[in-house]
Amino acid sequence: MRSVRPIVITAVLTLLVNLVLAASAGAQQPQRFLRPPPPGGLPVIPFMEGWYGNEDGSVTVSFGYHNRNEKYVTVEMGESNRIEPAQLDGMQPEIYFPGRHTGVFAVTIPASMDGETIWWHIKTGNSEEFKVPGERGSTAYELDRNPRPQGSVQPVIWFEEGYRGSGPEGVLSTSIKTVSVGSELTMEVGSQDSSVRDPSNPLFAKPLNTRVMWYKHQGPGEVNFTEHASAPFMTTEDVSFQGEASLRLMPPARARMAIPSGTGSAKVIATFSEPGEYLIRARVDNWAASDSDGLDQCCWSNAYQRVHVTQ
């Protein structure tokens, strides 16, 4: 009768080899959980949207973010939320609203630093730190301020002191507003849509409205925006503003209003829950035009107002 021992030994060795190979493969493969991510506790992801080359040799880098949590996340300025080198730090937000937000702030790298890379670092809670570079880099990331096919450009935006700006870098008010906790502060921003469109096109038979949205950008407490008598809030999304896909990715603020015909001013009333230093952002866009869209990096502008809140 033939011995079965060699066959048994061979089978055992084959099984052991297979187990070792399977364990090795499992160690190299990341675990994949067949379940949706939790509603909170996810990190905020920073984005470098692209860069603009300026006439003076400087470079303006546009930054945004994606917060996949269902609620806003706060990351205070400092080690967990910083721009390097330090002399360019300070304009990034401290509050991150749910969804994808494009061109929330920009940093201009002076001509003397051309060729250098800046970094935005952000660490959400106990999550790992994320960082994104900004520089005059690949032409694939180069942005422009040229008119879009139907003439749309970045609106001009300003505060009462008259200095005007446009684009993600926009304008930072030279004045600081002062108000006490719980008191009402009326804030006003002016804007003009400089787009030149074909008047024979029925889409532009009438001037298009622009839209202003107000956000808390930095600060220790809550900011509540209520409508001013001269600028009622848009209670539902105006059907004249196209780009539903854009709106899903870039959720609108509750405090939003229209500027009729694209030229004029918009006021809002802000109240603050805690004393401290705040930065408020107003964003104006002309996305009622079919060639203007946030996902196309056109056409909106930011304005930032510093507020000192006392007890």
- What pLDDT score does 26 carry? 44
What's the mean pLDDT in 262-283? Answer: 97
Instruction: Report residue 262's pLDDT band, with 50, 70 and 90 as the boundaries.
Output: very high
Nearest to 172 by CA among 159, 183, 182: 159
Return the percentage of the chain with pLDDT > 90, whole number: 70
- What pLDDT score does 30 carry? 43
Mean of all residue pLDDT scores within the chain: 86
- What pLDDT score does 195 carry? 95
- What pLDDT score does 307 carry? 98
Statement: residue 20 has pLDDT above 70: no
Residues β-bridged to residue 302:
283
Domain at 156-310, CATH from 3.60.10.10, 2.115.10.20, 1.10.287.70, 2.60.40.10? 2.60.40.10
Statement: residue 248 has pLDDT above 90: no
Q: Where are the domains of the chain?
A: 44-141, 156-310
Statement: residue 223 has pLDDT above 90: yes
What would the pLDDT profile of 36-88 be if each residue is shown by its tens digit? 444 568 999 999 999 999 999 999 999 999 999 999 999 999 999 999 999 99
- What pLDDT score does 205 carry? 85
Nearest to 56 by CA among 110, 105, 117: 110
- What pLDDT score does 191 carry? 96
Nearest to 107 by CA among 122, 80, 87: 87
Statement: residue 184 has pLDDT above 60: yes
Q: Match 């080359």 to its residue by tokens.
A: 53
Spatial separation of the C-alpha atoms in residues 12 and 16, rounded to whole Å: 6
Q: Which amino acid is at 169?
A: E
Tell me the whole-structure pTM to 2 decimals.
0.84
- What pLDDT score does 239 carry? 52
Instruction: Report residue 236's pLDDT band, with 50, 70 and 90 as the boundaries.
Output: low
What would the pLDDT profile of 86-109 be if each residue is shown by its tens digit? 999 999 999 999 999 999 999 999
- What pLDDT score does 290 carry? 87
Instruction: Report residue 14's pLDDT band, with 50, 70 and 90 as the boundaries.
Output: very low
Residues β-bridged to residue 259:
210
Is residue 141 a contact partner of residue 51, using CB atoms and an 8 Å limit? yes
Is residue 134 a contact partner of residue 109, using CB atoms and an 8 Å limit? yes
- What pLDDT score does 238 carry? 60
- What pLDDT score does 18 carry? 44
Tell me the range of 25-29, 34-38, 141-145, 246-250 where mean pLDDT is highest: 141-145
